[in-house]
Each structure stands twice: as C-alpha cells, then as structure tokens.
Amino acid sequence: MNFIDKLSAAWATNDSLLCVGLDPDLARMPPHLQHQPDGIVTFCKAIIDATAALACAFKPQIAYFAALGAEPQLEKICDYLRQHHPHVPLILDAKRGDIGATAHQYAREAYDRYGADAVTLSPYMGFDSVEPYFEWSDRGQIILCRTSNAGGSDLQFLNVDGKPLYQHVAAMVAGKWNRNGQCALVVGATFPDELAQVRAIVGDMPLLVPGIGAQGGDIEATVTSGKSGAGAGMMISSSRAILYATPAADEDFAAAAGRVALETRDAINLHR
Ligand SMILES: O=C(O)c1cc(=O)[nH]c(=O)n1[C@@H]1O[C@H](COP(=O)(O)O)[C@@H](O)[C@H]1O
C-alpha cells in the first residue's frame, strides 16, 4: 500500500490525526534504561505499544540515534513497527536535502535501510535534489514548507514575486513536484495563519504539523486552520510531551505516554 493510502487508512482506523514523534533523549529516559545496551529500543517499543492504537503515524527523528551511533537501534525499532503495527505509517524525520547522486543514497537509507513509508526533506536545493526519492514510487516525501521554529521566518517569509517564499514551496510541491502523488508538506502548528494559507494552496494534500505539546502550539487553532475538506489531512506531531509525560524516575512512562496520547488525540478530534 502506498504512503498516502496507508495514512488515510490509519486516520480512519485509529480515528486519529496524531503523529507520535520518537525523539529518544537518553538523559530524559528512565534511569534503568539509560545504560542498557538496547535501552532506546526498549523505551521506544513501550511507547509504540502504548500509543499505536491512537496514532496515525510514528516519526522517529534520526539525529537522536545517529548522535550516539545508535542507528542499529533505530533499525530494530523500524523493524518492530513494521512487524507489530504495520497499519501505522513510519515517517523517518531526517530533513535531507542534497544533490541528486547523494540524495539517492539518502533515499536508500530511508526507504530500504529503515523501511520508512515517508521521509522529511528540505526543498532548498531544488527539484533535482528531491527527484531521486520518486524512484520509490509508493513512498512519501514530506517537504519543509513553513517550519515551526521562530527562525523559519528568516528565509521562508522572504517576499518573492509578491508572496512569501513558503507559499511558492507549497504551490511547487502540490504541482510539478508531486510526481507520484505521494508528497506532503511540513507546516508548524505554531503558525495557524500560515497553516490556513498552505491549506488553501494545496487542496487536500497531507500536512505534517509539528509544534503542539512542548512547543506550545494551540490544538484548536491548528485543527481549524489545517484540516482538509474531510476533516483529516494532517499528521499533528508531538514528541517530548508524550515521550516524557512523567518525570524520568517514574517507571510507568509508557502508561503516561498512552494517557497523554489519548488526551491529545481526543482534543484534536473535538475540532475536526
Ligand atoms: O519535520 C519535523 O518533524 C519538524 C519540523 C518543524 O518545523 N518543526 C519540528 O519541530 N519538527 C520536528 O518535530 C519534533 C518536535 O518535537 P516536540 O517539540 O518535542 O514535539 C522534532 O523531532 C523536530 O525535529
């Protein structure tokens, strides 16, 4: 099943627009897991099992693994997701962006090594830096458009031919770039006005929307501004607020993650 169909099925099956971000920070994990050889795997599996019925996607962020040389643990987590929760799409958050030959290697990493359904990409090196990813015709490309951080405005808000650069990115990705019909865009929950602008440009294209939870984005404004005509169309992502829902010393971190995921999913659904 291709990325968009799998995402649409997960929206319906789990009645959820919540994407659970897997950003495992050793220092915030329960102490008994911090020094175990596969402690990150154990931590993430417990979070995954506690939230899989509530999520429309999982999004591991590769930096938290690569910084520790823990890519083999990320492989195990991705294998686990595909085997035990195959109906929930796996998004590798890597924000790649490089010339074509190098991009092809990054595509192999995301889609073949980790088996991701989709990967996050930067658009700023242009179409030929994204083109190699289309060789995997059933997989998704999620392209940065209006990011959740304050500094995103430095470039994305530059006025180009009468409109901000991020709107050009939205129009390009929804048009010429969406070669396999598997593209999506990243728009931060911290900017609901821009979320509405992007929605108006791209029709029902899925949007990955980080910025609720730890970054303080407002759920009602996010859903109202970003939902598609069918009241879906978004992967509203939260990482730290779910992963570290209890103090690190608390043994019951997975149950707390499940509780916060349930509350977040339901709060999102109130406004669909
Ligand atoms: O592409 C992303 O996922 C992303 C885009 C963006 O604009 N802002 C953003 O925070 N993210 C990612 O979303 C996650 C946010 O984590 P929390 O703030 O803990 O929910 C991190 O993994 C970020 O790298």
Q: Which atom of ligand 1 is nearest to the CA of 142?
A: 1
Neighbouring CB atoms inside 10 A of 105's CB total 12
- pLDDT at position 251 is 60
**pLDDT category, 103, cuts 50, 70, 90?**
very high
- pLDDT at position 247 is 65
- pLDDT at position 201 is 98
Q: Which sequence positions are flagged as catalytic?
A: 95
Distance (angstroms) between ligand 1 centre and the Cα of 37 equals 26
Element (H, E) at 57: strand 57-60
Neighbouring CB atoms inside 10 A of 234's CB total 28
Over range 164-185, report the average pLDDT.
98
ipTM beyond cut 0.95: yes
pLDDT tens digits for range 117-140: 999 999 999 999 999 999 999 999
Q: Mean pLDDT in the chain?
A: 97
- Provide the residue type at 244 as one letter: Y
- pLDDT at position 80 is 98
pLDDT tens digits for range 221-255: 999 999 999 999 999 999 999 999 986 555 699 99
pLDDT tens digits for range 63-92: 999 999 999 999 999 999 999 999 999 999
Q: Is 245 helix (H, G, I), strand (E, B) or coil?
A: coil
Over range 165-182, report the average pLDDT.
98
Cβ(93) – ligand 1 distance below 6 Å: yes
Over range 7-26, report the average pLDDT.
98
Distance (angstroms) between ligand 1 centre and the Cα of 88 equals 19
Q: What does the block give as tokens for 23?
A: 């950003």
Q: Which atom of ligand 1 is nearest to the CA of 120?
A: 1
Domains by residue range for the chain, with CATH: 3-269 (3.20.20.70)
Q: Given CA atoms 78, 80, 83, 88 in this order, what sign does their dihedral have?
A: negative
107 within 8 A of 147, measured Cβ to Cβ: no
> Which of 19, 42, 16, 22 lies closest to 31 in space, CA to CA?
42
Give the orientation angle of helix 192-202 with respect to helix 165-174, to 10 degrees. Answer: 30
Please report how many Cα atoms fall inside a 13 Å half-sphere around the Cα of residue 13, on the Cβ side: 16
**pLDDT category, 27, cuts 50, 70, 90?**
very high
Cβ(23) – ligand 1 distance below 6 Å: yes
Share of the chain above pLDDT 70, in %: 98
Pocket test for ligand 1, best of 237, 264, 268 (most atoms within 8 A of CB): 237
Q: Is 182 helix (H, G, I), strand (E, B) or coil?
A: coil
What does DSSP assign to residue 61? B
37 contact partners, CB below 8 Å, separation of at least 6: none
